[in-house]
């Protein structure tokens, strides 16, 4: 396998500049500051990976992927600004949750309501009880969390009673490293310290960032045995 050259991304550079101030904040306040200051330097409040161009392929294939696995309800955590997913007709029950209250309030105002079939909640994926759904979508989240909080998030998702987890993994990444919460790095969930089995299905996102340097970015589908 050819080793990819991975350029540093804006989320890493900008976090480094504010690390001392950010690491003094509790998790919720930390991500509130990141969103409010647009630390990830993107048109989408959720970062470059949530812009419409970055999600074009994913938006085109996600509904069929969910239907293939019999998914009738989804918990999207974190839902971020719901920008790219608002463009997708999922045709199933949707709950979005995020640790940043201002995002949740804006999403509910713009996209929620009883007639929309969508609900938005303020939740911390690492510790708050999660509403039950067939599938938990946890995209572009674990890449921003420390090892300890990734483990907490995975345990909490398993405890939710969902049948599946669909989450970001970099298929060719070899060695996971720990970070401060709010920073960014790639994660391969099949590698230590997580050591998950191979996913039962994969959605490769066709990421164009860094001139293809992150082309192995994917959503891996794992069954949750403790449901």
Task: Characterize 14-25 residue by residue with b for buried, 16 or more Cβ atoms within 10 angstroms of its Cβ, and e for exposed.
Answer: bbeeeeeebeee
DSSP per position, 212-223: HTTTTEEEEEEE
Query: In whole angstroms, what is the distance from residue 158 CA to residue 211 CA?
Result: 35
Query: In whole angstroms, what is the distance from residue 200 CA to residue 196 CA?
Result: 11
Question: pTM (2 decimals)?
Answer: 0.94
Write down the pLDDT at residue 5.
Answer: 79
Give the β-pairing of 118-122 and 93-98.
parallel
Write down the pLDDT at residue 123.
Answer: 98
Write down the pLDDT at residue 205.
Answer: 96
Write down the pLDDT at residue 1.
Answer: 46
Query: Under CATH, what is the fold of the domain 10-223?
Result: Rossmann fold (3.40.50)
Domain boundaries, given as residue ranges, for the chain: 10-223
Write down the pLDDT at residue 227.
Answer: 37
Residue 95 pLDDT exceeds 60? yes
Write down the pLDDT at residue 226.
Answer: 46
pLDDT digits (tens, 9 = 90+) for 166-222: 999 999 999 999 999 999 999 999 999 999 999 999 999 999 888 889 999 999 999
The backbone region for 51, taken as left when phi is positive above 0, alpha when psi lies in -120 to 50, beta otherwise, is beta
Mean pLDDT (whole number) for 100-128: 93
Task: Characterize 59-86 residue by residue with b for buried, 16 or more Cβ atoms within 10 angstroms of its Cβ, and e for exposed.
Answer: eeebeebbeeeebebbbbbbbbbbbbbe
Q: Which long-range contacts (CB under 8 A, 24 or more apart) does 147-153 make?
A: 147/176, 147/178, 147/193, 149/27, 149/181, 150/187, 150/194, 151/193, 151/194, 152/126, 152/127, 153/125, 153/126
Residue 121 pLDDT exceeds 70? yes
Query: In whole angstroms, what is the distance from residue 220 CA to residue 138 CA?
Result: 10
Residue 97 pLDDT exceeds 50? yes
Write down the pLDDT at residue 51.
Answer: 85
Write down the pLDDT at residue 48.
Answer: 76
Write down the pLDDT at residue 28.
Answer: 96
Q: What are phi and psi of 50, to 5 degrees?
A: -105, 5
Residues belonging to the chain: 227
Q: Which pair of structure tokens corresponds to residue 61?
A: 């294939």
pLDDT digits (tens, 9 = 90+) for 23-65: 999 999 999 999 999 888 777 777 777 888 889 999 999 999 9
pLDDT digits (tens, 9 = 90+) for 2-31: 567 798 888 999 999 999 999 999 999 999
Return the residue matching tokens 């995002």: 103
Mean pLDDT of the chain: 93
If you ran DSSP here, which 8-state letter would residue 106 be given? H
């Amino acid at each position: 396998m050819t080793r990819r050259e991975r350029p540093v991304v804006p989320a890493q550079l900008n976090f480094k500049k504010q690390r001392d101030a950010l690491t003094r904040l509790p998790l919720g306040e930390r991500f509130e500051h990141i969103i409010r200051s647009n630390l990830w330097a993107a048109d989408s409040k959720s970062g470059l990976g949530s812009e419409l161009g970055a999600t074009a392929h994913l938006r085109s294939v996600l509904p069929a992927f969910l239907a293939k696995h019999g998914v009738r309800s989804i918990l999207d955590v974190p839902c971020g600004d719901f920008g790219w997913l608002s463009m997708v007709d999922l045709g199933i029950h949707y709950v979005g949750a995020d640790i940043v209250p201002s995002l949740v309030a804006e999403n509910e105002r713009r996209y929620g309501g009883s007639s929309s079939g969508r609900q938005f909640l303020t939740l911390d994926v690492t510790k708050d009880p999660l509403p039950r759904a067939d599938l938990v979508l946890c995209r572009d989240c674990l890449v921003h969390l420390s090892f300890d909080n990734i483990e907490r998030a995975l345990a909490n998702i398993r405890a939710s009673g969902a049948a599946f987890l669909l989450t970001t993994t970099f298929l060719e990444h070899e060695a996971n490293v720990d970070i401060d919460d709010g920073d960014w790095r790639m994660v391969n969930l099949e590698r230590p310290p997580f050591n998950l089995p191979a996913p039962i299905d994969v959605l490769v996102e066709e990421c164009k960032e860094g001139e293809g340097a992150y082309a192995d970015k994917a959503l891996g589908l794992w069954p949750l045995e403790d449901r």
